[in-house]
A and B are shown apart, each in its own frame.
Chain A
Amino acid sequence: MANRSVIPFGPQHPVLPEPIHLDLVLEDEKVVEAIPTIGFIHRGFEKLVEKMDFNELVYVADRICGICAFIHSMAYCQGVEAVMRVEVPPRAVYLRTIWSELARLSSHLLWLGLMADAFGFESLFMQCFRLREGIVDMLEEMTGGRIILGVCRVGGVRRDVEDGALASIVTKVRAMEKDMRQVADVFLNDDSVKHRLVGVGILTKAQAHELGCVGPMLRASGVSRDTRTLGYAAYGAVDFAPVVKTDGDSYARCAVRIAELFQSVDIIRQIVGKMPAGEVGVKVSGYPDGEYHSRCEQPRGEVIHYVKGDGTRYLRRYRVRTPTFANIPALVKMLQGCDLADVPVLVLTIDPCISCTER
């Protein structure tokens, strides 16, 4: 048996923008075991229910993450609305859907850029971030916020967007499609990129299911599950199907995210085409009394906001299960048997968002 050594990976590492630590047990250059540690920056957001009432908590949910902020606030609001049986006006849920998809575009482009950076493809990294900047500009035009949008509230949204401005957003994202195809072509066809991704970190369909994977991680292993098919927000009015690949390797995970870029553009086009007129919010009275697991599909997969109220201003419990939290067990399994040189790429292919996880 080869000598075993333990290499600490993170929480500070050149390819890791987020604080996760892995103890990598190696035999020569092969990883035989990986033990994860998170919790370096646990913020205790959930415990804020003791200090902030259920309306104020929307602002907290919006700040759980700097990448998928809007979907957190939407998931929280949906949970409270379900408990309080609030009927949200259709225009508000359609706007929520548009912002969710723009957030997905922004997140996936960010991930693609970070991935390119991780394997040293600087010009590709810059192209991805240039495209992402366009998406963030659109969010700013519509909401006034670039990252933390602050537009969701219990009972609707805080801002309406004129139909002309929505049509303009569709024109802009469709114009970006051409540039996105160029970037996608490099990720999917460039030999140097494929060399780092194809056949690396294979997760089978059965493993993905058993380990509780979510999002592109799961769909890249052949499981057709996407929380958006539940029909929350306005997804019930959209014609789309989960993007599924079957190889289960890093390349498949990359391919799923790339395909989802174009899917998001199509969903935005459909939603704007069906945008109903009317109010964007209703007055909410009373306090939440009951419980609900609100589920949404974030860029990284299914997120769950559990809210439990007892008829007072303050929730009894607020709990967020983030997609990265659900994907960590799969990462641990994928790392077993991989080469040490592939560890950074594998960690990145789960698109880790430890900020979310350390809510």
Chain B
Amino acid sequence: MSEPLSPADPQTIEEIPLTSLLQRVQRMNTEGWRLVQASCTRLVADQEVNYSFDRDGQSLEEPDAARLHGMHTLRVRLPMTGAELPSISAFYWSAFLYENEMHDLFGITVNGMAIDFKGHFYTTMIPTPYVTTEPDHGE
């Protein structure tokens, strides 16, 4: 008889207003969360940006650190066109990659990136390929 499998990876999502993004990210940083990823999703009428963090970073000095995983995502909503975001790279320097990606693929203007590739991070045949109205699903 095999042992039971472990429970799924616990995850939470918290939607916050854009005005409190930097404050919340700063707090995550102070509390020792690591930035796991940031990404954008286009919805029907607007779009959402997700910043995912993991708590394991707080336990750098604890030998059982790996058992303290838990992903928390901060979500902000943006208008479909003319969207602007403040960069979080003052708190998470590595965010510049995610932010340049959002700019090049989704056309979001991110102000204050640590390294700004000015639209040359990705070479795509179509500029900002995700800026479409609705997917056609190939039908």
The distance in angstroms between the C-alpha atoms of A231 and B52, with both chains bound, is 20
- Contact (Cβ within 8 A) A226 B117: no
Q: Give which listed residue, B7, B37, B124, B136, contacts A304 with CB less than 8 A.
A: B37
Interface residues of B, count at CB 8 A: 50
Q: Which of B25-63 contact A (CB under 8 A)?
A: 34-37, 39, 41-43, 50, 52, 56-57, 60, 63
- The residues of B that contact A274 with a CB separation of less than 8 Å are 2-3
Task: Say if the beta carbon of B20 comes within 8 Å of chain A.
Answer: no
* Residues A211-268 near B (CB distance < 8 A): 211-212, 223-227, 229-237, 241-242
- In the complex, chain B residues whose CB is within 8 Å of the CB of A291: 13
**Nearest Cβ on chain A to B125's Cβ, whole angstroms:** 9
A235 to B73, CA, bound (A): 25
Contacts of A231 in B (CB 8 A): 5-7
Interface segment, A64-72, A155-163, A314-322?
A: A314-322
Q: Is the CB of B120 closer than 8 A to any CB of chain A?
A: yes
Q: Are B120 and A232 in contact, CB atoms less than 8 angstroms apart?
A: no
Q: A102 CA to B58 CA in the complex, in Å?
A: 32
Contact across chains for B135 and A229 when beta carbons are under 8 A apart: no
B122/A325 in contact, CB under 8 A: no
Q: Which residues of B does A touch, CB under 8 Å?
A: 1-9, 11, 13, 34-37, 39, 41-43, 50, 52, 56-57, 60, 63, 65-67, 69, 71, 73, 92-94, 96-97, 104, 115, 117, 120-124, 129-130, 135-138
Extra contacts, 5 of them, besides A225-B56, A329-B97 (Cβ < 8 A), are A224-B63, A231-B7, A233-B5, A274-B2, A275-B2
Top 7 closest pairs, chain A to chain B, by CB: A231-B6, A236-B6, A50-B135, A39-B122, A329-B94, A229-B66, A321-B37
